[in-house]
Amino acid sequence: MMRRGTLLRAAMQVLLLIWLLVGCAGREGAGGGQKQEDDAGESSVEQQKAQQEESTDSERTVSARPREPTESVELVDVNWNSTLVFQSDIGELWAINAHGSEPLRLTGEQEPYPPTSLSPNGKKIAYATERIEGGCGGASACASSSPEKSYAQIYVMNADGSDQTKLVEELGASSSPAWSPDGKTIAFALSGTDDESCTIYAMNADGSGDRTAFATLDGCYSINSLSWSPDGKKIAFEGSITLNAVDIWVLDVAGEQGGTDQTRQLTHTPVGWWNVGPTWSPDSTEIAFTHKATEEYDQSVYKINADGSGETRLTHDLPVHSDPADPPIDSTYSPMHSPVWSPGGTKIAFVREYRFLENPDRYSGDSTPSSLIYVMGSDGSNPTVVKDFSSERVLNLDWLPGWVDLPLAAPAQAQEERTTSGQPPPSAEGCKPVENPVGEIAYQVGGDIWTMNADGSNPSQLTHEQVKEDTPAFSPDGQKIAFVKEVEVEAEGGSLSEAPPHLVPKVVVMDTNGCHQKVLPLPEGEYAHEPSWSPDGRRIAFWSDPLSVLEECRMFITNADGSGTPRRLPTPGLSGCILRPEWSPDGDQIAFEAGYDDGWADIYVVDVSPEGATSRPRLLIDDDPGTTSDGNEAMGATEPSWSPDDTEIAFVGGQDIYKFNVNTLEETRLTTWEGAGSGTSVENSPTWSPDGERIAFVRDDSGVSTSIYVMGSDGSDPTLVRDFPPAERPVPDWRPLP
């Protein structure tokens, strides 16, 4: 990229050619980074498309086959719904889930691109290419009298390849772009044609405004593979200030712009070795990268602390258990590269290449390697094969959390139903029924109601309207779902045509396939929240916070079929907010949250007769700041959830999940986790499984992510089942047994 004289330039070109011939694939980090393709000099989109058009395989797909893992380890703590995205050897984008599902195409068929950088929400792709002007195009002799000029170009497009927009065109060379964690900014490195420095810039992702120069590295040969830390404070990159040596560097984005201490060299590899493709851990404390020799196939995965300490090799020689029908495998060829961290930070995926001995010429352009995607512990333990791609080179690996909804390319038949987003075609009656609609857990995300299995699989979107919908609750027979939906009502003083529409949250009941929605009545001036079914399925309790009465919330009971008028549930002796009613499974009691007079909520219960009469509320759980029976401070009690046998109530105490035995009055703390972010995680929204053996809940990890977990009812074996954007609060509800 950056050159220091004609002789050094020629030497670097020779070394680069050797690297390309051995098939070294430098990995792009979490925010992106440029990798070399198999054929030197063909980096433009047009050249790659022309190469693809010459292929005789017009219906090309990525071939994958099952293979026994090299180590026996279960991926129980790998989120089933998280997604591994990669590029094939010709630049097409594909995706699989983290347990190795069949590959699904992102970009259209026969639409290869240079190494790409996927935006954090999965909607946009940025990439760098070049435009050559003048010269002879590599010919030994030509009539052109104009010197050859190379222009760096950076494009952004939709993830399906549409709406390509050029953001940068400038004389010189560029690294591949890297997205900031919030998706608003793109970083990239540029060089001129004659100077001996590399400059890292940032610009708005839509190309608006002026670019900002973060830092300049003097005396460098190249900067590549930029990777933005998840906390947004640093950018890791591979840089070279010594001929035939590449190291990992870190740029302090939060530092003073133009400061000399902004860049710091983390590794100091000897000549003949390159450290490339840095990628950050989710907590921004560690960096994984590929360590490789320039003249051999020696490539391994390493990691290092962000301060430069603790450099550790993670991968070693791994046997490949080939199919007996396959030719023997070349044991001397085993490059391992392209590490990427799992969204939770406990795993690292990487690519391991292998070749069959039927073509032992490792430098032959006709000898395409095969690839294995592995997942291992972040300490290098238990490497496990996730997917085997025979005669396919896998590049540019990325690992996305489960909440990222990738747009799959059309018109492939298997993808027309938008498998990952669960968006089925509309029905004749206006709703959108789905196949296998009844998942085990209902939840909300993006203002819509979804269901999924308890392991996070088969996410199905039930509602698709442009209004907010939340807090789903299964009916006792599991055939209906009550939830809260913003409903348009006539504005005060006129009809909808005469005054702006007014959205009021009301309780709605629908079938579990998303159809036959019925809006339940609501007293004027009330705003419904968090419905709870009576065990016989005839009534629904909810709470309301009327805007006309500040700091007062009250509970109501209404008929589930929409008949009659909602009746306010009296709570004599209590003032302030009365909220979150939860009907006991035997139907005799309703637990609720109240008692904010002293600043800390408590949990109360009232007896409920079959006719709907209620007793005077009595205090059940009083957890104002102080010491509980297990020695831990609970700091209030909120969000009660009854166990199926009526003996226990799970609730939120401060930032953790507790449970309370209504017979023995024993209280037990179930979660005690620290967040991966800068603060402490917050656990909330507990819900019991129908057999009472498990509890699902939400974990908000200090703005880093929001997730649904499932644990044993004693707090054991908490397991991540699905990730969501930090701003979401999914509020799960477990379907009763049919």
The ranges assigned to domains in the chain are 6-54+61-136+146-400, 422-490+503-734
Residue that has been written with the tokens 């498309």 in this structure: 49
CB 95 within 8 A of CB 349: no
Q: What is the mean pLDDT of residues 689-708?
A: 88
pLDDT class of 80 with cuts at 50, 70, 90: low
Q: What is the pLDDT of residue 622?
A: 83
678 vs 65: which has the higher pLDDT: 65
Q: What is the pLDDT of residue 501?
A: 60
Q: What is the pLDDT of residue 112?
A: 62
CB 12 within 8 A of CB 221: yes
Reported as a single tens digit per residue, the pLDDT across 658-678 is 999 999 999 999 998 654 444
366 vs 27: which has the higher pLDDT: 366
Which residues are 97's β-sheet partners? 83
CB 486 within 8 A of CB 502: no
pLDDT at 289 over 70: yes
pLDDT class of 708 with cuts at 50, 70, 90: very high
Mean pLDDT of the chain: 77
pLDDT class of 151 with cuts at 50, 70, 90: confident
pLDDT at 220 over 70: yes
Q: How far apart are CA 456 and CA 445, in angstroms?
A: 14
The mean-pLDDT minimum among 547-551, 597-601, 679-683 falls in: 547-551
CATH of domain 422-490+503-734: 2.120.10.30
pLDDT class of 101 with cuts at 50, 70, 90: confident
Q: How far apart are CA 335 and CA 317, in angstroms?
A: 9
pTM of the entire structure? 0.60
pLDDT class of 435 with cuts at 50, 70, 90: low
Q: How far apart are CA 587 and CA 18, in angstroms?
A: 75
CB 31 within 8 A of CB 127: no
CB 97 within 8 A of CB 116: no
Fold match flag (6-54+61-136+146-400 vs 422-490+503-734): yes
Residue that has been written with the tokens 């046998």 in this structure: 645
Residue that has been written with the tokens 């290092």 in this structure: 304
Q: How far apart are CA 110 and CA 399, in angstroms?
A: 24
Q: How far apart are CA 49 and CA 43, in angstroms?
A: 10
Number of other CB atoms surrounding residue 138 within 10 Å: 9
Which residues are 279's β-sheet partners? 288
The mean-pLDDT minimum among 141-145, 167-171, 274-278, 596-600 falls in: 141-145
Q: How far apart are CA 670 and CA 717, in angstroms?
A: 11
Secondary structure (H, E, C), 557-621: EEECCCCCCCEEECCCCCCCECEEEEECCCCCEEEEEECHHHCCCEEEEEEECCCCCECCCEEEE
Fold held by 6-54+61-136+146-400? Neuraminidase (2.120.10)
The mean-pLDDT minimum among 48-57, 119-128, 175-184, 216-225 falls in: 48-57
pLDDT at 54 over 60: no
Phi, psi angle pair for 274, to nearest 5° = -125, 135
The three-class DSSP label of residue 636 is coil
Instruction: Give the C-alpha distances (Å, rounded to integers) separating 667 from 19, 591, 616, 648, 679.
Output: 63, 16, 24, 9, 26
Concatenated DSSP letters of 240-302: EEETTEEEEEEEETTS-TT-TTSEEE---PPTTEEEEEEEE-TTSSEEEEEEEESSS--EEEE
Q: What is the mean pLDDT of residues 151-160?
A: 85
The mean-pLDDT minimum among 173-187, 315-329, 717-731 falls in: 315-329
pLDDT class of 616 with cuts at 50, 70, 90: confident
pLDDT at 632 over 90: no
Reported as a single tens digit per residue, the pLDDT across 469-518 is 999 999 999 999 999 999 988 655 443 344 456 789 999 999 998 888 99
Q: What is the mean pLDDT of residues 240-260?
A: 77
pLDDT class of 110 with cuts at 50, 70, 90: low
CB 221 within 8 A of CB 240: yes
Q: What is the pLDDT of residue 419?
A: 34
pLDDT at 81 over 80: no
Q: What is the pLDDT of residue 274?
A: 93
Q: How far apart are CA 300 and CA 292, in angstroms?
A: 7
pLDDT class of 122 with cuts at 50, 70, 90: confident
The mean-pLDDT minimum among 123-132, 412-421, 442-451, 475-484 falls in: 412-421
Alpha carbon dihedral 657, 662, 665, 669, in 10-degree steps, equals -10
Q: What is the pLDDT of residue 78?
A: 58
Q: What is the pLDDT of residue 219?
A: 81
Secondary structure (H, E, C), 230-249: CCCCEEEEEEEEECCEEEEE
Q: Identify the burial level of 197 via C-beta atoms within 10 angstroms of its C-beta, where 0-12 means exposed, 13-18 middle and 19 or more buried.
A: middle
pLDDT class of 709 with cuts at 50, 70, 90: very high
pLDDT at 260 over 60: no
Q: What is the mean pLDDT of residues 340-345?
A: 88
pLDDT at 599 over 90: no
The pLDDT > 90 percentage for the chain reads 35
Q: Which of 309-318, 546-555, 670-679 has the highest mean pLDDT?
A: 309-318
Ramachandran sector of residue 114 (left: φ over 0; alpha: ψ -120 to 50; beta: rest): beta
pLDDT at 421 over 80: no
pLDDT at 254 over 90: no
